[in-house]
Amino acid sequence: MKKYIILVLISLIASINLQAYSYAAAGKEPTIDSREGILGAINSDNFVLAKEILEKNKDNYLYLTKEFNEKLFSSLESSILEKDKQKINKWLDVSIATEIQRRLDGGLKNIDNFNIAKVMLAKADKFYKLLSVSLDKELDKKLKEALFQCMDSIGNPGLFGVGAKPVNKEKYIENEKIVDELLKSL
């Protein structure tokens, strides 16, 4: 009987330490998390909190501003100070757009390393899905197609070389430019 008791106890410990599988979201991403925070704050008209969240994430926004959109931080900050909800939302969308540019940029830098490029593009896709809601139909369609073409350009190493597809760097650069232009029009 003792061994059966041990067995049940082991199962109890195992159950406490393990978790079930569940659905997934984009994962930990400071730009998404701060966007959520700022939108939560302005939903309840708490612009002081929105400004605090912006300050807390200043480094991340400054990096995106420096690399991808020079107006991002100042415009987001001024729209919070002006308490203009639509403008705040617009600049938060721009922050998501810069994350897409950032991942595409990473994809290009690592285009000869399929695994890294693929991770970058998978992340770009997660950001795209968040942004897509705010885009008009035509822009959304063009952006989706250009992102698909980038994904297609990184090729595929195949299974032991079977079904392998070569990298097409020119096609990637061409479509990355399209994405950049579309996102700059926001």
Residues within the interface to another protein (CB under 8 A): 3-4, 7-8, 10-12, 14-16, 18-25, 27-28, 32, 35-37, 39-40, 42-43, 85-86, 89, 115, 118-119, 122, 129-130, 132-133, 157, 159-160
CB 131, CB 101: distance < 8 Å:
no
- Identify which of residues 19 and 185 has a Cβ nearer to another protein in the complex: 19
Indicate the burial class of 90 (C-beta count within 10 angstroms; 0-12, 13-18, 19 or more).
Answer: middle
Question: Taking the complex as a whole, how short is the minimal distance between the CB of residue 89 and another protein, in angstroms?
Answer: 6
Question: Taking the complex as a whole, how short is the minimal distance between the CB of residue 42 and another protein, in angstroms?
Answer: 7
- Identify which of residues 130 and 147 has a Cβ nearer to another protein in the complex: 130
The residues with which 162 forms a beta bridge, in sequence order, are 159
Question: Taking the complex as a whole, how short is the minimal distance between the CB of residue 154 and another protein, in angstroms?
Answer: 12
The torsion defined by the Cα of 129, 139, 150 and 152, in degrees rounded to 10, comes to: 80
- Identify which of residues 6 and 173 has a Cβ nearer to another protein in the complex: 6
What tokens appear for 71 in the block? Answer: 């107006």
- Identify which of residues 162 and 185 has a Cβ nearer to another protein in the complex: 162
- Compute the C-alpha angle 141/144/146, nearest 5°: 105
